[in-house]
Structure 1
Amino acid sequence: MALFQKEFFISLKSLTYWLVVLLIGFFLFSQLGTDLTSIKEPQPHEDDYGVSATTDKKSIQKQTIGNLFYQHGIGEYNTYPFGFLKVVTSSNHDQKEIGKIIERATGKSLEELSEIFEKEMDELQIYAHQNFDYFPIAKDYSYQLFQKDMRKVSEIIGKSSDFEEANYKSSAIKPLSYEEAHEKFEMILKKDHVSGAYARLVCDYLGIILALVPVFLAATVVLRDKRAESQLVIYTKAVSSIKLQTMRFLSTVVLIFIPVLLFSIMPALQANLIAQKFNQSGDIWLFYQYILGWTLPTIIAVVGISFLITTLFGGIASVVAQIAIWFISVSAGSLNIVGKVGFNLIPRFNHVGSTVIFEGIVEELVINRILWASIGILCFLISVFVYDYKRNGGKIFGKGN
């Protein structure tokens, strides 16, 4: 315990740590603001109750072909390499090929489709998929042929376009009825106790920043002896490598997790107040169950990986490697930010509510969190062997002389 306290307070006094704390706080509150947007109870006869995902094949066809017609009309196609927008301008030949696909899919000429499109322009919100539900689809245009055509369109435009199967399926939506909207609202109140719905949003934002900034403190901790030019002092102390590094690892994880807990107090209390507005009892303990189970594995993973890479190759290599991991993770989840898990270090759930979607991914999320925590611990244990090897001239787990 004495060694833990020593390592804890050394890091606590470092400038690097407080910069990390500021980055976490600034990012979280720049995304959330100082006041959470309150949920709204749907009322009968409203014009818009929002939208939800749909798996209806006819709707997927209409929205995707309508979107394709829109992009074909301006001659520019959206692609998302590494999660960032890149507009692709097609050649005249490619435009003709895509035009033929659109005409086959709709059974109408491009001129006829332009007339239909113009009639809807007054109500059309630019580039909103749900507004293409009016788009015609030929009766003999099967879903199998549609899939084949979209594969061809993707080959013409390039990778990561709106017309890859995973992308057009995930973007297909339908307008909610009053009954459906009210059911979703009731699930937020009854199943999520409001707190759970907001906790997922907070964890989404925290996951983005925590997948990166702990590397700076971890690298500083690992390199502490070298920077202080005290290798000989440390190497001659009768403290085992595993004990020394374990205390450093634990103190680093705890120090990163403390501001996460503190910065989440405000949204936790705000969620509780929102629940009271609807005569419900918020659940702060449920809120912090999300914070603990969602964010702590990310911290453990990043700190563990950073310990290993810093011990092997140095601090700069560790930072570069973690930036690469962060970039890949953010990019992988950028096209689906509600319910995207997989193997991603940053599980995405950027929405208040969507309880049904969350219930469908909760098992996958638990596996993901356990896996990344295990990766972090494994990397840390390997780093202990490497550290001990360097410390003892090839001896494993021996004490310094």
Structure 2
Amino acid sequence: MRLLATECRRVLRSLPYLIFIAALLLMYVTNYRADGLEKLQKPSPNQASYGMKEVELPEVIMPVAIQMLQMEFANNSYTAYPYGFYKTVVLSEAKQREMAEHLALLTEASPSLSYEQFKQTMEQVDQLIGGGSQYGESFLVSNFGQVPKSYEDAQRDYAAIIEQDHISGAYARIFADYIGIIAGLLPAFITAALALRDRKDGLYENLYPRSIRSWRFIASRYAAIAAMVMLPILLLSGYETYAIASSYPEQMIDYFAFFKYSLGWLLPTVLVVAAASLLITEWSGTAIAVALQFAWWFMTLMVGIPFIDGGKPGLLYMPRHNALGNTELFAAGLEDFIWNRLLYAALSLVLVAVTVVIYEKKRRGMRSGRDWLAQRLAHRRS
């Protein structure tokens, strides 16, 4: 426990941890608080609008998607979002001829065209554009399957938030979505900074000869990073529970929702980010873990854009659910979500175990990746 307390103090005094706290509060205030605390209102008859819903109905999706493709074909200007970035694609003459064949199949055979044939053709259209277009599987339904919600739909959504989420669960998912963006990156900076400071301060030379076992030191550091990162998140969870209870004094809320989502949703993200950074930094002896983690974080953020409404965690280490409610959608994908979180929790333990092995070998004289690379470069120069 003494070693764990020492590591916690070192985390607390590090500059990256202070940056993490600042970024966490900034995300909380400027995004979650500004966007996520819309007061729920029970739907009433004859409202002008109840919002939109996403449906996978061929009679809704097919005509709208084909019409959009005709417009883009006529202008030879196709919208795509490869890796999340907006891009206008102009096809060559040969590819336009190929696109014309796909479009002819969609229009001339449309009365007899099955939905499966339509999706297969649209997948080929997406590949021809270069991927990431609105005709690919990831975007097809979300772009062309939007229909207005009915009063009955709005009533059902409201009832699900009240009865299944007990109100606070709906807010807790948005909270986890926003906070996950910070938790999915900045723990890597904290982990790398501690290891590099150890090297600079000569802690390795002083610590290696001692009797502290490798697993104990690595486990203490890892636990300290995870605990210190989760501490402000749990404090915000407590405050949000109070805020929701104050906003809905007449309702019975779930007082544990924010804590459950923080521990079940955010903790596996923190664990895998810290474990990956710890492993790479211990092996390399450099800050390359920060660059690699940033690339992983950025790619996950971009790939997750089509799933921002929730329900489809896939292999994302930062699941998305940036919508107040969508309770039934989340419930439908809950099993996949649980397996996703268990997968990353298990992966983090494997990465920590590998880190312990590397750390033990370094105590016995194994060179770091940085030293090995420096020696190889010196050998080549000589």
- TM normalised by structure 1 equals 0.84
Matches within 5 A, 1:168-183: 168-171=140-143, 172-183=145-156
Residue aligning to 1:121 = none
Matches of 1:293 and 1:367 in 2, distance apart? 11
Matches of 1:149 and 1:307 in 2, distance apart? 45
Residue aligning to 1:18 = 18
Matches of 2:79 and 2:239 in 1, distance apart? 38
1:202 to 175, 193, 202: 175
- Residues 313, 320 of structure 2: 8 Å contact kept: yes
Q: How far apart are 1:99 and its partner, in Å?
A: 5.7
Residue aligning to 2:165 = 192
Residue aligning to 1:326 = 297
Distance 1:359 1:300, change over 3 A: same
2:225 to 242, 252, 259: 252
Query: CA deviation digits over 1:64-104, x for unaligned, max 9?
Result: 22332343455421111112211112346655664665566
Matches of 1:269 and 1:65 in 2, distance apart? 49
Matches within 5 A, 1:230-269: 230-269=203-242
What 5-or-longer segments of structure 2 have no aligned partner? 367-382
Q: Secondary structure at the match of 1:78?
A: strand
- Residues 36, 270 of structure 1: 8 Å contact kept: no
AA partner of residue 88 (structure 1) = V
Residue aligning to 1:110 = none
Matches of 1:188 and 1:72 in 2, distance apart? 43
- Residues 273, 282 of structure 1: 8 Å contact kept: no
Residue aligning to 2:355 = 383
Matches of 1:350 and 1:67 in 2, distance apart? 27
Distance 1:145 1:373, change over 3 A: closer
Residue aligning to 2:307 = 336
User: Once superposed, what is the RMSD of the aligned Cα atoms?
Assistant: 2.2
Q: Secondary structure at the match of 1:52?
A: strand
Q: Secondary structure at the match of 1:174?
A: strand
AA partner of residue 65 (structure 2) = T
Query: CA deviation digits over 1:140-162, x for unaligned, max 9?
Result: 34324423432342243221111
Q: How far apart are 1:215 and its partner, in Å?
A: 0.3
- Residues 268, 345 of structure 2: 8 Å contact kept: yes
Q: Secondary structure at the match of 1:41?
A: coil
Matches of 1:345 and 1:32 in 2, distance apart? 20
Matches within 5 A, 1:6-85: 6-34=6-34, 36-72=37-73, 74-85=75-86
Residue aligning to 1:298 = 269
- Residues 189, 275 of structure 1: 8 Å contact kept: no
Q: Secondary structure at the match of 2:53?
A: strand
Matches of 2:216 and 2:123 in 1, distance apart? 55
Residue aligning to 1:398 = none
AA partner of residue 323 (structure 1) = F
Matches of 1:143 and 1:245 in 2, distance apart? 54
More helix by share: 2
Matches of 1:184 and 1:204 in 2, distance apart? 20
AA partner of residue 18 (structure 2) = W
Distance 1:138 1:14, change over 3 A: closer
Matches of 1:371 and 1:63 in 2, distance apart? 38
- Residues 278, 355 of structure 2: 8 Å contact kept: yes
AA partner of residue 342 (structure 1) = G
1:358 to 322, 326, 330: 330
Q: How far apart are 1:389 and its partner, in Å?
A: 1.1
Is 1:283 aligned with 2:283? no
Aligned length: 363
Distance 1:272 1:71, change over 3 A: farther
1:214 to 169, 187, 191: 187
- Residues 340, 349 of structure 1: 8 Å contact kept: no
Matches of 2:92 and 2:247 in 1, distance apart? 53
Matches within 5 A, 1:110-125: none
- Residues 166, 253 of structure 2: 8 Å contact kept: yes
Q: How far apart are 1:17 and its partner, in Å?
A: 1.3
- TM normalised by structure 2 equals 0.88
Distance 1:51 1:373, change over 3 A: same
Distance 1:155 1:12, change over 3 A: closer
Q: Secondary structure at the match of 1:159?
A: coil
Q: How far apart are 1:218 and its partner, in Å?
A: 0.7
Please say which of residues 337-346 and 298-307 is displaced more in the overlay: 337-346
AA partner of residue 347 (structure 2) = I
Query: CA deviation digits over 1:15-62, x for unaligned, max 9?
Result: 221112112221232221357111222111122111212121111212
Matches of 2:203 and 2:93 in 1, distance apart? 68
- Residues 77, 89 of structure 1: 8 Å contact kept: yes
- Residues 275, 352 of structure 2: 8 Å contact kept: yes
Matches of 2:284 and 2:241 in 1, distance apart? 40
- Residues 333, 340 of structure 1: 8 Å contact kept: no
Distance 1:240 1:141, change over 3 A: closer
Please say which of residues 344-353 and 90-99 is displaced more in the overlay: 90-99
1:224 to 170, 179, 197: 197
- Residues 83, 335 of structure 1: 8 Å contact kept: no
AA partner of residue 255 (structure 2) = I
Distance 1:365 1:224, change over 3 A: same
AA partner of residue 343 (structure 1) = L
Query: CA deviation digits over 1:305-330, x for unaligned, max 9?
Result: 11110011134221111112112211
